[in-house]
Amino acid sequence: MTEASPPISARERHKEDVRTRILDSLIALLSEGIDINHDRVAERTGVARRTVYRYFPDHDALMQPLWDRVVSLAGGAAVRFPDSEAELTSSMLSIFQSFDRIAGLATIVRATPQGRAVRLAQKERRRAAYVSATADAVKELPPEDRLLATAMLQVLHTTPWLEMRDQWDMDGAQMATACRWAVETLLKDLRARGGKPLSDGPA
């Protein structure tokens, strides 16, 4: 028989409630295009500034849970950095369709200074994930070209969503088809070219 989990104390429920209110305030501020800092979060949440600092001690600590909340609203596990070359293409449909589900918020994250700050807070994690996922595909290129190829594969994986939505009225499924074709074409070229520099043109 599985033992029942111990009941949550009133104190723990209160702490979780405050944390949830802070996270909701972060989303509200982001949605309204308001710069995010501890003072604004405290004012919006209706808690003391020191309370916000107790839960989130610096600006980076605010950005990470905000990013996590955006990802959760988009679909949670469906929206993640790739952990392999295969996942570069296999994850596109679920990611683009997840962006469609939160189109307003996804647009804010990509098109406003506040949203870009949230994305930039993930820069090191994002770069590390794509470097790892593409390492085998780019390994024979000259070092500078490895960077260029990895960056282009990262851009094609999720970045076109806003442009293809705004300029071409596409939905996530259409975007995924186009971007998957582009990524597969580049990966095929990388496998064929060996160490031939990108400046020499297609393999």
- What tens digit of pLDDT does each residue of 146-166 get? 999 999 999 999 999 999 999
1: pLDDT confidence band, cut at 50, 70 and 90? Answer: very low
Q: Which domain holds residue 16?
A: 10-57
In a shared domain, residues 36 and 82:
no
Residue 81 lies in a domain: yes
Residue 201 lies in a domain: no
* Pair (51, 88) in one structural domain: no
In order of 43, 100, 124, the CA distances from 169 in angstroms are: 38, 12, 32
pLDDT tens digits, 32-81: 888 889 999 999 999 999 999 999 999 888 888 889 888 888 887 778 89
Residue 5 belongs to a domain: no
Task: Report the distance separating Cα 145 and Cα 154, nearest Å.
Answer: 14
Give a yes or no: residue 145 inside a domain: yes
Q: Tell me the per-residue pLDDT of 80-104, one tens digit each, with 9 for 90 and over.
A: 899 999 999 999 999 999 999 999 9
Number of domains in the chain: 2
What band does 11 get if pLDDT is binned at 50, 70 and 90? confident
- Greater pLDDT, 41 or 12: 41
Q: Whose CA is closest to 193, among 162, 151, 155, 149?
A: 149
What's the whole-model pTM score?
Answer: 0.85
HSE, side-chain direction, 13 A CA sphere, residue 138: 24
